[in-house]
Amino acid sequence: MDRTRGTVLLAGSLHGPAAQMLWDLPTDTALHGLVEMLKQRFGSADQAERFRAELWARRRGVDEDLQSLYNDVHRLMSLAYPGPNTALMDVVGREEFLNSLGDPDMRTVYVSWISCL
């Protein structure tokens, strides 16, 4: 596959914020340049560390429903710990979700409820 075709195929498969990055690229950007930009923006070790910090600091908003909180914690877990999901990741994710509740009483209720399952 030639570089031009590879660039077009990669660019065509991007969605969301990754696709929006294409608007800022020069039209003659090579495949290698596009891959490097994507790595810088979405795939570096520094990014994972940033997402771990966001996850640690995440707290439930005043009117935020539990499903939205769960979805955001799940998203941050995927970004903070890329790779296959393991039993340890499930434990870490559950702990981060419970911590994000920000209410010790609610945490106790959920821990009691989870242990009954």
Domain ranges across the chain: 3-42, 45-115
Q: What is the pLDDT of residue 67?
A: 94
Q: What is the pLDDT of residue 46?
A: 73
Q: What is the pLDDT of residue 111?
A: 80
- pLDDT (tens, 9 = 90+) of the chain, 117 residues, equals 555 787 778 778 887 777 777 777 777 777 777 788 777 777 666 788 889 999 999 999 999 999 999 999 999 998 888 777 888 988 999 999 999 998 888 888 888 887 665
Q: What is the pLDDT of residue 73?
A: 94
Q: Give phi and psi for 67, each to the nearest 5.
A: -65, -45
- Asked whether 83 and 89 are in contact (CB, 8 A), the reply is no
How far is CA 23 from each of CA 1, 19, 20, 79, 114, rounded to the nearest angstrom?
24, 8, 6, 24, 46
Contacts 24+ apart (CB under 8 A), 59-65: 59/100, 59/101, 59/102, 60/100, 60/101, 60/102, 60/103
Q: Give phi and psi for 53, each to the nearest 5.
A: -65, -40
